[in-house]
Amino acid sequence: MTVLYILGGLVLLVVGGDLLVRWASRLATGLGVSSMVVGLTVVAFGTSAPELAVSLAAAWNGKPEIALGNVVGSNIFNVLFILGLSALVAPLMVQRSFLRRELPIMIVSSVLMMVVALDGRVSRPEGLFLFAGAVAFTWWLVREGRRQTRLQKSKQANVPEVADELEEEAPPPRMALLVLGILFSLGLLVAGSKLLVAGATAVAQELGVSDLVIGLTIVAAGTSLPEVAASVAATLRGERDMAIGNVVGSNIFNILIVLGGSAALSPIGMAVPPAAMAFDIPVMIAVALLCLPVFLSGARISRLEGFLLLALYAGYTALLGLASVGAVVDRSSVMTGFVAAVALVLGWEFWRARRPVAEPD
């Protein structure tokens, strides 16, 4: 049964991710927005459903620390593991407009989380403030996306050949069917992640791994499996804007909606453990800031950079595992070493991107 859980979960994740990207792309065409906008909104919010369900249930049951850890762990996993894996599949190109707008919003949201948690608690009013920020962000994103699309089409209409192609375009598919298809594919992703987590947890228990390590690794990563499936499927189908938008949008929604909604639901807000303030939340902010040089080096995420992101996540997970068994580890020194290695390679990437190209003979 354990093997069937793992295989069934993988099948559902692959099929659900492929269908989600396919129907989300059609929805973008029908709404007149780009794949990046749909990735930042519909796909990102949909794939964050497991995080939302786990955090809301934890807050309702009086365990806000689980909700907080779920948000922080998922955001670290999204950037380091999912972007790293997607870049290994195929290098990801980054739009210039994305560097000016959505990426800074993710960084500001991460810093804002630390600001509201400085007093050791995310209160209910602060949670409502974060949730309102998610509503405003979604409204602005859709409005800006439609404006950019209209501007692009108006420019294309001035070119006779392109204008003729625009007139011959088939009518957009029915929105209701696309929405139902997206909901169905999201259901497959959630079901697949649950099966895979159950199977992997059973295997880990058979191998004698402690429940704490299982919770810090398998269960934490399990709620992000829909993002993994959606981003990798988007990369394989050539929708690389959607892959990046899914990760960044999920991180923004995790902070504003998942954390904000959980704090608003909890009668006394959400307590923030000192250990999280001292290490995990700063790591989350550092990971968000790391996206700046990674995205700016040639306006793409190369396979080498993808490998470095995965190596950073492996190091972070190893630190969690060692700490859970009581090992004394200077975590700050280890993370400093990782960041220094990444900085050296990124410096080489900057130099290579700006190196003049030799003229052909």
Higher pLDDT, 198 or 349: 198
Tokens 């190091």 belong to residue: 315
Write out pLDDT tens, residues 116-171.
999 888 888 999 999 898 888 888 877 776 776 666 666 555 555 544 444 444 44
Within a domain: 357 = no
Q: Tokens 């249930």 map to which residue?
A: 57
With respect to residue 296, please indicate whether it lies within any of the assigned structural domains.
yes
Q: How confident is the model at residue 32 (pLDDT cuts 50, 70, 90)?
A: low
Determine the pLDDT at residue 115: 93
Q: How many helices (H) and strands (E) does the chain have?
A: 20, 4
Domain assignment present for 72: yes
Q: How far apart are CA 81 and CA 145, in angstroms?
A: 28
Residue 214 lies in a domain: yes
- Asked if the structure places residue 255 within a domain, the reply is yes
- Does any domain span residue 78? yes
Higher pLDDT, 174 or 139: 139
User: What CATH number does residue 198 fall under?
Assistant: 1.20.1420.30
User: Is the whole-model pTM more than 0.95?
Assistant: no
Percent of the chain with pLDDT over 70: 65
| pLDDT tens-digit map of 286-297 | 888 888 877 776
Reported confidence tier of residue 212, pLDDT bands at 50, 70, 90: very low
pLDDT number for residue 109: 93
Mean pLDDT (the chain) is: 74
CA 193 to chain centre: 15
338 or 322: which leads in pLDDT: 322
What's the average model confidence in pLDDT over 81-108? 84
Cα–Cα dist 115/178, whole Å: 39
Beta strand extents in 263-334 (DSSP E only): 270-271, 300-301
Question: For 181-195, what is the mean pLDDT?
Answer: 77
Rg value, the chain, Cα: 21
pLDDT at 253: 86
- Give 72 or 268, the one with higher predicted confidence: 72
Domain with 269, as residue range(s), is 2-163+172-352
Q: Is the pLDDT of residue 359 over 60?
A: no
Residue 358 lies in a domain: no
Question: Would 360 be classed as within a structural domain?
Answer: no
Q: What pLDDT digit, counting tens, does each position of 44-71 carry?
A: 777 677 777 667 766 776 666 667 777 8
Q: How confident is the model at residue 308 (pLDDT cuts 50, 70, 90)?
A: confident
Task: Count up the domains in the chain and report the number.
Answer: 1
Res 356: pLDDT:
53
Q: How far is CA 165 from CA 121, 140, 153, 162, 259, in A?
A: 56, 30, 11, 5, 46
